[in-house]
Amino acid sequence: MIGERYVNGAVLIGLIALPLWALSADEVFTITLTTRAAILALAAVGLNIALGIGGMVSFGHAVFFGLGGYAMGILAFHAQTFSPLDFGLFALPGTKSMPVIWLVATVVSAFAAWIIGLLSLRTAGVYFIMITLAFGQMFFYFAISWGAYGGEDGLSIYVRNSFVGLDTLMPIQFFGLCFALLCLALLLQWRLRRSPFGLALNAARQSTERVQSVGLNPRQLKLLAFVISGAITGVAGALFADLNRFVSPTMFSWQLSGELIILTIIGGVGRLMGPVIGAAIFITLEHWLGGLTDFWHVWLGTILLAIVLFWRGGVIGLLTGKEGPHV
């Protein structure tokens, strides 16, 4: 068995090495794929905070992913059409600057997470899974019928947004940005778990009463974790939209929420690098299986089943020989 620290290090090195190799071999598409994996990993890191540390099985994280995406889409749309964003009382110009877009994505998804969390955390267990799913569906149907920003057609952004000093249209440079944000989120997750807040949260996941007895409010702890979680997934959504230069209601779909959960479980719930490994494996499977047969979903399904039935604790659990936390 291998120590988790070594696994984590190897994954990070692999994630940098692959696109660098692709750059030298002129395999541009591999860089795009790796970027996609990094962004999905970032979204799953967000989910992992709610899921792995807070024990909240959210089946609606696509809401935050989609909100991040639309934050990018709407701001860039107004920038490229030179039309101000009209709020009735005041109007703001759109923007093509990534940091501004990220900030807006963070704030918007954090706010949504606060509202959704406030309402959803009144429930627990399956009810929590289902109420988060319901919120996801509400946003999905709203986005489909919201004609002003393309409805089901979505919004196309013709040129990727900009970041000072970088040429974001170069795949490797955009990958660098995504990778940096992923590392930042991983660092945050790592620090969070060791912070008093993280410890209290972990305790709240295992036993609500115990936390209450020391005078902490478990629901408030969870709500805060949910907000942080939503905000990170929101930033990932903005990056994902920038990767595709496109945003559409599918970013709000329940299948996407499901995919994020799958990534997290494949890698290992509650593990620091679980989402990263999960995303890497998922993208590889999707790409490789899709090349083999028309009916590749059957095989994807079979592999997922095998993971649940035989590899509890995900790939990290398998490598390190330790089970993950029970959710």
Partner 1 sequence: MQKILLTAAIAAMLATPALPETKVGMITTLSGGGAGLGIDVRDGFMLAIKQSGRDDIEVVIEDDQRKPDIAVQLADKMIQSEKVDVLTGIIWSNLAMAVVPSVTAQGKFYLSPNAGPSQLAGKGCHENYFNVAWQNDNLHEAAGAYANTAGYANSFIMAPNYPAGTDALNGYKRFFKGEVANEVYTQLGQTDYAAEISQIRASGADSVFFFLPGGMGISFLKQYADSGVDIPVVGPAFSFDQGILQAVGEAALGVVNTSQWNKDIDNPANAGFVESFQAEYGRLPSLYASQGFDTANLLISAVEAADVMNAAAFRDALRAADFDSTRGAFAFGTNHHPVQTIYVREVIREGDVFTNRIIGAALENHSDAYAVDCSM
Partner 2 sequence: MRASRAEPGTGKRLMPSILIIEQILNGLQFGVMLFLMAAGLTLIFGVMGLINLAHGSLYMVGAFAAAWVAGATDSFILAMAAALAAAAAAGALTEILVIRRLYSAAHLDQVLATFALILIFSEGTRFVFGSFPLFLDVPQQLSGSILLPGGIQYPLYRLTLIGIGLLVALGLWLLTARTRIGIQIRAGENDREMIAALGVDITRLYTLVFALGAGLAGLAGALVGAIQSVQVGMGEPVLILAFVVIVIGGIGSIRGAFIGSILVGLTDTLGGVFLPEFFKLFMQSDAATQTGSALASMAVYILMGIVLIRCPTGLFGARA
Could you say which residues in the range 276-315 bind partner 1, by CB under 8 A?
286-287, 290-291, 293-297
Of these partners, partner 1, partner 2, none, which one is at the site of residue 162 (CB under 5 to 8 Å by kind)?
A: none
User: Which of residues 82, 87, 90, 158 is near partner 1 by CB under 8 A?
Assistant: 158
Q: Is 82 in the site for partner 1 (CB under 8 A)?
A: no
| CA-closest candidate to residue 78, choices 149, 11, 134 | 149
CA dihedral 229, 235, 238, 243 (to 10 degrees): -110
Q: Kindly state the tokens that stand for 116.
A: 């959704």
CA 192, CA 272: separation in Å to the nearest integer? 11
CA distance readout (Å), 229 to 60, 192, 238, 247: 12, 11, 15, 21
- Per partner kind, with CB cut-offs from 5 to 8 A, the member of partner 1, partner 2, none near residue 308 is partner 2
CA dihedral 203, 207, 209, 215 (to 10 degrees): 10
Among 59, 65, 77, 282, binds partner 2 (CB under 8 A): 59
8-state DSSP, 97: B
The 3-state DSSP class for residue 321 equals coil
Considering only 1-9, 93-101, 143-151, 283-291, which stretch makes contact with partner 2 by CB under 8 A? Answer: 143-151
Interface stretch with partner 1, choices 12-20, 43-51, 237-245, 263-271 (CB under 8 A): 237-245
Q: Which does 220 bind (CB under 5 to 8 A by kind): partner 2, partner 1, none?
A: none
Binding window for partner 1 (CB under 8 A); candidates: 129-137, 187-195, 209-217, 241-249: 241-249
Burial code of 79-112, b = ≥16 C-beta within 10 A, e = fewer?
bbeeeeeeeeeeeeebbbebeebbebbbebbbeb
Which range touches partner 2 (CB under 8 A), out of 7-15, 136-144, 188-196, 221-229? Answer: 136-144
Part in contact with partner 2 (CB under 8 A); list of ranges 67-75, 76-84, 144-152, 236-244: 144-152
Total binding residues toward partner 1, as defined by CB under 8 A: 35
Which two structure tokens, joined as six digits, stand for 126? 């399956």
Q: Judged by CB under 8 A, does residue 325 bind partner 1?
A: no
DSSP string, 248-315: -GGGG-HHHHHHHHHHHHHH-TT-SSHHHHHHHHHHHHHHHHHHH-TTHHHHHHHHHHHHHHH-TTHH
What residues are paired with 166 via a beta bridge? Answer: 163
Binding test (CB under 8 A) with partner 1, winner from 12, 16, 111, 156: 156
In which element (H, E) is residue 92 found? Answer: strand 91-92
Q: Does 21 bind partner 2 (CB under 8 A)?
A: no
CA dist., res. 176 & res. 284, Å (int) = 20
Q: Does 40 bind partner 2 (CB under 8 A)?
A: no
CB of 299 to partner 2, least distance (A): 9
107 binds partner 2 (CB under 8 A): no
Conformational region of residue 144, where left means phi above 0, alpha means psi within -120 to 50, and beta covers everything else: alpha
- Positions 33 through 52 that interact with partner 1 (CB under 8 A): 33, 36
Is residue 192 part of the contact set for partner 2 (CB under 8 A)? Answer: no
Rg (CA), the chain: 20
List interacting residues with partner 1 (CB under 8 A): 27-30, 32-33, 36, 141, 144-145, 147, 150-154, 156, 158, 171, 240, 244-246, 248, 250-251, 286-287, 290-291, 293-297
List interacting residues with partner 2 (CB under 8 A): 51, 57, 59, 119-120, 122-127, 129-131, 133-135, 137-138, 141-142, 144-147, 254, 258, 261-262, 265, 269, 295-298, 300-302, 304-305, 307-309, 312, 326-327
